[in-house]
Amino acid sequence: MRQFNRIFRFRCYAKHNRAAGFTLIEVLVAIAMISVFMAASMAVLIPLSRSYTATDVASSAQQVVRMAVEVIAGDIRLAGLDPLQQLQGLDSSGLPICGFQEASATSVRFTCDRVPDGDDEANGEIDDSNFENINYFYDAGAETLNLRLYAGAPVQTSQALVNNVTNLRFRYYDEEGNETADLEEIRAVQISMTVEEDAGAETPVERSYTTRVLCRNMGI
């Protein structure tokens, strides 16, 4: 009887242990199910991640191109600024002393007589300082928007402002709204710019921005 009780207790113990654990087949089935679930999850998450990356890059590119164009536009609005009316006529090169001195599809250069910081009025001269001689131009080979200050002066400086620029174009209009190449007739400038940014595994993202600037100091 005692022997029977020991056998019975052993069988119950073994049965309990088997019920509390997992068989090899059960483990393999569980692993297979987890693998299928992970594969399905990755199939959903990877495209979402790529889409988020592309959207983020597109937003960044749009912000860069818009800010760059607005900076150019802000400076162009000052072209021809001559508060003291002492900078009329042409310089020794036959270019307007104050106003546009270059106006091509990829480069614009202009002068103005700003009021220096700390002063009450302009000095009636185009100085080699105080941002009074500005040139924005496009380097197609390097794909950069560049800024040159004080062209032709001993203190001339140049630097790249924006990289990955795939297009930059300036167009010039007279007071009637017609395109013009005459430096003294320019009353508005249209700026169009395109920037391309790498989006990783996705196709590179391009964003463009165009604005037209009224040259309020020209023709006064």
pLDDT digits (tens, 9 = 90+) for 94-108: 999 999 999 999 999
Domain ranges in the chain are 2-51, 60-214
Q: How much is the pTM? A: 0.74
If you average pLDDT over every residue of the chain, what do you get? Answer: 82
- Residue 10 clears pLDDT 50, i.e. is over it: no
State the pLDDT at residue 197. Answer: 86
Residue 158: closest CA among 117, 107, 211, 123: 107
Please give the structure tokens belonging to residue 56: 């983020």
Q: Is 110 exposed, middle or buried (0-12, 13-18, 19+ CB in 10 A)?
A: buried
Q: Average pLDDT of 19-40?
A: 65
Cα Rg for the chain, rounded, in angstroms?
35
Strands lying side by side in the sheet with 188-197: 165-173, 188-197, 205-214
